[in-house]
Amino acid sequence: MPHVEVPLRWSDMDVQGHVNNARIADYLQEARVQLFAESGLLEHGVVVVRQQMQFRRPIEYSETPVQVEMGVTRLGGAQVEIGYVLTQFDQVVAEARTLLAAFDFDEQRPARLSPSMRRHLEPHLVDWEPFTPLTAPPLDGRGTRTLHPTRWTDLDRYAHVNNVMAFEYLQQARIEVSPKWDPTLARTGTGESLHLWLVVRQDIDYIAQIEHSLQPLVVHTAPVALGRTSITSAAEIMAPDGALLARGRTVVVCADLKGRPTELPNRSRLEGFLVKP
């Protein structure tokens, strides 16, 4: 299996003192770019269709790079799925899957993988178990609404907003809306929270390319399931004109300030915001 080392940056850290979950999506991108480097896929064009990420333990800042093992978990006529196992200090910190599709940006349509691309990818095929799907009902305008401006620096070499930024938009939305559901859900570091909120799973489906705009994106976010210690939320990213761009599902676990899972506070209040099918 291909092995890539991804160096950490101090700016990858968040207020909870570990690497922010959205940065891990960036590590996946850095790793697969090296896998695709001689395939011709990057030059031809490729878009992310879906991301699935499971977070096993926090990544600590270190001068030692994160180790990323990769394999091709699915290879179709136009799509390829990459699997990843991330380790730090010989412990698994995250696992992930990324489904990608070849894309003709001149014609703005999907394209098939060329024979040379397939020859490059086939030696890396692995038989890894697929992730259990993380499902949620469509929000269809339900949930708490927030606005999110795009930045010029959000764009990538294909001149659309990079796929990693969707994780940041959804994270910003959760941080803004959670205290509206319950003041005790305030983010750590504000002086108002008695808990840590640990992301353990996050999936995003990319429906359409996100373009830079002077008008903000609209994100609707809502809790869709409550566990004893966890909240599953759904979110939809909308273009300024109302077009659906991406759907996300996130599972966060409530923990005490020492990182131990604890029961959800004010569960009855949260139930009032639940969106169901």
Tell me the pLDDT tens digit for each residue of 217-236.
Answer: 999 999 999 999 999 999 99
Bridge partners for 84 per DSSP: 70, 96
Is the confidence at residue 239, as pLDDT, over 80? yes
> What tokens appear for 22 in the block?
């959205």
**pLDDT over 90 percentage in the chain:** 78
Average pLDDT of the segment spanning 39-58: 93
Output the CA angle 151-157-161, nearest 5 degrees. 35
Q: Specify the higher pLDDT residue, 183 or 205.
A: 205
Is the confidence at residue 188, as pLDDT, over 90? no
Output the CA angle 138-50-123, nearest 5 degrees. 155
Q: Residue 180 has what pLDDT? A: 86
Q: Residue 258 has what pLDDT? A: 77
CATH of range 1-131; options 3.30.565.10, 3.40.1280.10, 3.10.129.10, 3.30.1330.100: 3.10.129.10
Q: Residue 192 has what pLDDT? A: 62
Q: Residue 131 has what pLDDT? A: 96
**In the chain, domain spans:** 1-131, 133-277
Q: Three-class SS of residue 42?
A: helix
Q: Residue 99 has what pLDDT? A: 98
Q: Residue 189 has what pLDDT? A: 56
The per-residue pLDDT of the chain, averaged, comes to 92
| Contact yes or no for 210/246 (Cβ under 8 A) | yes
Q: How confident is the model at residue 191 (pLDDT cuts 50, 70, 90)?
A: low
| Contact yes or no for 13/82 (Cβ under 8 A) | no
Per CATH, the architecture of 133-277 is what? Roll (3.10)
Average pLDDT of the segment spanning 21-27: 95
Is the confidence at residue 190, as pLDDT, over 90? no
